[in-house]
Amino acid sequence: MKSMMSKAPGGPETLELVETPTPEPGPGQVRIAVKAAGVNFPDTLIIRDLYQFKPPRPFAPGGEVAGVVEAVGEGVKNLAAGQRVLAGGVNGGFATHFIADAARAHKIPDAMPFDEAAAFMLTYGTSHYALKDRARLQPGESLFILGAAGGVGAAAIELAKAMGARTIAGVSSEDKAAFCRELGADETLIYPKGALDRDAQKALSNDIKKLCGGEGANVVYDAVGGDYAEPAIRALAWEGRFLVVGFPAGIPKIPLNLVLLKSCQIVGVFWGAFTMRDPKRNEAHVAELFRWYTEGKIRPRVTARFPLEKAADALKTIEDRTAFGKVVLTVG
């Protein structure tokens, strides 16, 4: 098998294409011949040893794949060789083959292409858990999304619309705003790039409130962090919920008096841990996501495809925040 390996901490340019023996699945595992692999922001962190989990080196990054079951290990009952599946984990996806726990692999609809399947679970799983479980988003509520043109942000737009919410997409450029409107965003807001001074933060907060009807957002989905987090919290409505999803712009420091004054909640979203701690509830979530996909309510927007050996270029589009929707690697 071939893999794009991280042998030492560093940026995307440090990955190396390596050939190793193809592994055999152990008990409860399956080996997947990978057809496509999703590329996500955590992949840019894990190769620098900045992620919550630090796999022993050498390792291939990549937390989601789609392909065909090639071999099954002892005790596997839910899957068989030849079935089309998606699967995930912490790492190992940037490769021609992937060993997955059978319990964490899912058969995909016949009409779902491999690239969309590889772009599906992490982003929609994260955003579905965030909006449904953590924010308890209700029909008619307003949702403001920071980083709405990225993978999880784009998924949040579609999911919020499926849940009946009013969605305001926050982005950094007009072309990203147009992309979000195509996804179904009711309103878009273009915020400035880079560091924000107090005046810029106040203006951003006021703009969010206006687009949310004056009272502010019932829910803020923050996949950006940095200087954008505090003004977004200031733009929350009474008893609003602020979802902490990611920090590509840096980890913010929030004055907690804002939480008291608005009687609001700051809520963490760690979807990966949720899937392991509550697999039964996660299965119900996955079933709902596949149903919405089949009904045409959600669909991954794969806007860039790279061959496996160009994984570094794919990761750079994520680091530079130039990607719209989802980026995938095509394999084989």
For residues 78, 270, 94, 77, the Cα torsion angle rounded to the nearest 10 degrees is: -10
| Residue 285 is assigned to a structural domain of this protein | no
Report the C-alpha gap between 3 and 72 in whole angstroms: 21
Read out DSSP for 47-77?
Answer: TTT-SS--PPSSB---SEEEEEEEEE-TT--
Q: Looking at 271, 289, 318, which one is the last position of a domain? A: 271
DSSP for residue 252: -
| Residue 228 is assigned to a structural domain of this protein | yes
Tell me if 57 sits within 8 A of 6, measured CB to CB: yes
> CB neighbours of 28 closer than 8 A, spacing ≥ 6?
73, 74, 75, 76, 101, 102, 103
CATH of the domain at 142: 3.40.50.720
pLDDT digits (tens, 9 = 90+) for 262-289: 999 999 999 989 999 999 999 999 999 9
| Residue 239 is assigned to a structural domain of this protein | yes
Output the tens digit of pLDDT for each of the chain's 332 residues.
Answer: 999 999 999 999 999 999 999 999 999 999 999 999 999 999 999 999 999 889 999 999 999 999 999 999 999 999 999 999 999 989 999 999 999 999 989 999 999 999 999 999 999 999 999 999 999 999 999 999 999 999 999 999 999 999 999 999 999 999 999 999 999 999 999 999 989 999 999 999 999 999 998 899 999 999 999 999 999 999 999 999 999 999 988 999 999 999 999 999 999 999 989 999 999 999 999 999 999 999 999 999 999 999 999 999 999 999 988 888 899 999 97
Q: State the pLDDT at residue 135.
A: 98
Chain-centre distance of CA 2, in angstroms? 25
Nearest to 228 by CA among 185, 191, 262, 199: 191
Q: State the pLDDT at residue 77.
A: 93
Whether 70 and 151 map to the same domain: the answer is no
Whether 255 and 304 map to the same domain: the answer is no
Q: State the pLDDT at residue 323.
A: 82
| Residue 326 is assigned to a structural domain of this protein | yes
Q: State the pLDDT at residue 211.
A: 96
Question: Beta partners for 119?
Answer: none
Whether 21 and 93 map to the same domain: the answer is yes
Question: Beta partners for 5?
Answer: 16
Ramachandran angles phi, psi of 76, nearest 5°: -80, 120
pLDDT digits (tens, 9 = 90+) for 18-31: 999 999 999 999 99
Strand, coil or helix: what is 295?
coil
CATH of the domain at 103: 3.90.180.10
Whether 76 and 165 map to the same domain: the answer is no
Whether 22 and 59 map to the same domain: the answer is yes
Domain total of the chain: 2
Q: State the pLDDT at residue 214.
A: 84
| Residue 294 is assigned to a structural domain of this protein | no
Q: Containing domain of residue 174, as a range?
A: 123-271
Count of residues making up the chain:
332
Whether 129 and 267 map to the same domain: the answer is yes
DSSP for residue 195: -
Q: State the pLDDT at residue 253.
A: 94
Whether 256 and 185 map to the same domain: the answer is yes
| Residue 36 is assigned to a structural domain of this protein | yes
Whether 9 and 110 map to the same domain: the answer is yes
Q: State the pLDDT at residue 325.
A: 85
Whether 114 and 127 map to the same domain: the answer is no
Q: State the pLDDT at residue 228.
A: 97
Whether 254 and 200 map to the same domain: the answer is yes
